[in-house]
Amino acid sequence: MSLDADLIVERRRLRRSLTTWRVAAVLAAAAALGALAIGLDGPEFVERRQAHIARIPITGLIRADRERLKMIEEVAKSGAKAVIVAIDSPGGTVTGSDSLQTAIRRLAEKRPVVALVEGMAASGAYAAALGADEIIAGRNSIVGSIGVIVQFPNVSGLLDSVGVKVEEVKSTPLKAAPSGFVPTSPEARQALQAVVDDSYAWFKDLVKTRRSLDDSLAQTVASGRVWTGAQALELKLVDRLGDQDTAVAWLAETHGIDKTLPVRDWRAGRAATDEIRLSTRILAWLAEAAGLTQLAQNLRTETPALSTALDGVLAVWHPPAGQ
Largest CA distance in the chain: 108
Distance of alpha carbon 236 from alpha carbon 218, whole angstroms: 10
Whether 175 is a known active-site residue: answer yes
- Identify the active-site residue in 110, 175, 185, 223: 175
Question: Is 123 a catalytic site residue?
Answer: yes
196-232 residue pLDDT tens: 999 999 999 999 999 999 999 999 999 999 999 999 9
b/e burial code for range 131-148 (CB count within 10 A of at least 16 → b): bbbbbbbbeebbbbbbbb
Which residues make Cβ contacts (< 8 Å) with residue 52, sequence separation at least 6?
Answer: 79, 80, 81, 261, 262, 263, 264
Q: What is the pLDDT of residue 151?
A: 85
Q: What is the pLDDT of residue 178?
A: 84
Say whether pLDDT at 112 is over 60.
yes
How confident is residue 305, by pLDDT bands cut at 50, 70 and 90? very low
CA distance 237 to 231: 9
Catalytic residue among 78, 89, 97, 123: 123
CA dihedral sign, ordered 26, 29, 35, 37: negative
- Contact between 90 and 62 under an 8 Å Cβ cutoff? The reply is no
pLDDT score, position 279? 59
Tell me the per-residue pLDDT of 230-278, one tens digit each, with 9 for 90 and over. 999 999 999 999 999 999 999 999 999 999 999 999 987 644 444 455 5
20-24, 85-89, 198-202, 259-263: the lowest-pLDDT one: 20-24
The verdict on pTM exceeding 0.85 is no
